[in-house]
Amino acid sequence: MNLRPVALTLSLILPGCGGESGRSLAAVYDSAGVRIVENRDVEGDRTSNWTVSPEAILHLGGTSASEGAELFSELNGVTRLAGGEVVVLEGSLSELRFFSEDGEHIRTIGGMGDGPGEFGEAGSFVRLAGDSLLVRDTRKSSLVLFAPGGEHIRSELVDRRTMWGLGNFTWMGWYEPPLPDRSLLEFLGMEESVEVPAGESGPTESHPNRLLIRVSADRSTADTLGLYRAPHAYFVELPGGSVEFVEHPFFERGHLAINTDPTMIYLSGGGEYSVRRFSQRGAPDMIIRRTLPRRTPTREEREAAWTEAVRDVTPERLSEIPRDLSVPDAVPDILGMVAGPDGELWVQREPFVRGQSRAVLDVFDSGGLYLGEIRLDVPLRVREVGADYILGDRLDEFDVPIVELYALERR
C-alpha cells in the first residue's frame, strides 16, 4: 500500500499539559485520515517527574562473564517476560537464553542443528501475547514458535520463492522480526549496488534507498509501506584493486520500530526528524515530526566518529583511505526507535559515537505528542521499554556486549 499524497485540510494548535516549568505545543493536521503532528516550540517537560534507577537492576554479560551462558558476542534481540525473566538471542550460536530477575541462568534452548526447535541461523525474534516467542530462522527460511517456558511448539517453512514473485525488486534479506500475525517485513533494493570502476582511485559514494514491504501471512500479497534510507557509504579503491567499505556514523539512515499489541509499525526514512506510523491493517495513520536545532559535533566527536567508521580496517590499509571524505556537518536527529507501552514511541538521539557516556531519548504519546526527554548515565542502546523498565545493551571497554535493565518510575 502506497503512502497517499498529503493535502492539509485542518490545522489546530493543541497545548500539552506540562509542569510548572511550561508546556509543549504541537500543530496537528489531518489529511485523508492521516494524523500529522508537528512538535515544535517545545517548552517544559512532561517526563520531568519520571525517574530512572541510577544503577542497572539487572546486569548480564561483559568482560567479567568470561564463559557460560552470560557470555555474549552477537545480540540478535532481547526481551523481558511478564514474570520478570529476560530472554537474550545470542546470534553467533542461535541460542535463546533465559535469565531470572536476579540474573541467574535458567535455561538455553535452540542452538544450531536440524532437530525440533533448532536453527540454521536465528536472525531475530518477537515476544507475542502470553509470552510465547516467535523466532525467524533466516538460513532455514522458517518461523519457529516456542511456549513461554521454552517448549518447542511448531516450525513453519517460509517459501521465499513465492515471495520473490511478488515484485520486480532484489530481495535484500534484511530479516526483521516477524509480526504477530506471521506476516513479514522485508526491505527491497531500489537501485543497483555501486561498483568502483576499474583503474579509478578515490571514494565512490553510495546513496541506497530501500522500500519497506509487508508480506502477508499466506505469502500471497506484498503491500508497500514506504521508503527507507539505508546507510550511506563510501567504497574506496585501494592500491592493488582491493576495495574498502566506509560507513560513517553521521550519515543519515532510516529506522524501524514494531509494536506488537496492537500491531503498529513505525518507520523513519532518514534525513529529517519524521516518523510514519502504520496501523495493524498496514495503512498509514500518523506522521510524527519534531523540530530540533542542528547538532554540530565537537572536534573530539568528529575524531571518535572517524575512528568508528574505520575501526574494522586493517592498519596497513587505513593509511590509503583519504581523511577528506565528505561527511555531514551535523549529527543525525534519529539514531534508533522503540515502541513503548500504550502506543508510546521512544526515539533515541544519543549516543551517536563510541565513548559517549549517556543515552538520550525523546518520548511521544500514542497521539504523537511530545512528552519529554529521558536521559540515562550510560550509553545504552534501548531495545525495549515497559511500564516500569528500560531494557537495552551496550559494549564495554573491550567491545564485549552487556545487557542491562533499568527501573523506570512514572509519576
Residue with cell 516450525: 155
The whole-angstrom distance between residue 400's C-alpha and the CA centroid of its chain comes to 20
For the ranges 13-22, 166-175, 370-379, the lowest mean pLDDT is seen at: 13-22
114-119-120-124 Cα dihedral, nearest 10 degrees: 170
CA distances from 136 to 34, 112, 148, 182, 270 (A): 32, 13, 16, 10, 26
Residue pair 180/261 in contact by the 8 Å Cβ criterion = yes
Instruction: Tell me the average pLDDT of the chain.
Output: 84
What's the whole-number mean pLDDT along residues 228-236? 75
What is the tens place of the pLDDT at every residue in 320-357? 777 667 777 889 999 999 999 999 999 999 998 877 88
- pLDDT of 218 over the 80 cut: yes
For residue 95 the three cell numbers come to 541460542
Residue pair 166/221 in contact by the 8 Å Cβ criterion = yes
d(CA 361, CA 363): 7
What pLDDT was estimated at residue 377?
95
The whole-angstrom distance between residue 221's C-alpha and the CA centroid of its chain comes to 25
Dihedral of CA 7/10/16/21: which sign?
A: positive
For the ranges 211-220, 237-246, 267-276, 373-382, the lowest mean pLDDT is seen at: 237-246
What's the whole-number mean pLDDT along residues 242-270? 86
Q: Which helix (H) or strand (E) holds 61?
A: strand 58-61
What's the whole-number mean pLDDT along residues 300-309? 86
H, E, C per residue of 114-135: CCCCCECCEEEEEECHHHCEEE
Residue with cell 551535523: 330
- φ, ψ for residue 46 (rounded to 5)? -75, 0
pTM confidence score: 0.88
Q: Residue 160 has what DSSP assignment?
A: H
What pLDDT was estimated at residue 7?
36
Residue pair 379/359 in contact by the 8 Å Cβ criterion = yes
Strand partners, 58: 405
Q: For residue 387, name the pLDDT band (cuts at 50, 70, 90).
A: very high
For residue 130 the three cell numbers come to 502470553
What's the whole-number mean pLDDT along residues 223-227? 86
d(CA 252, CA 233): 10
308: left (phi over 0), alpha (psi -120 to 50) or beta: alpha
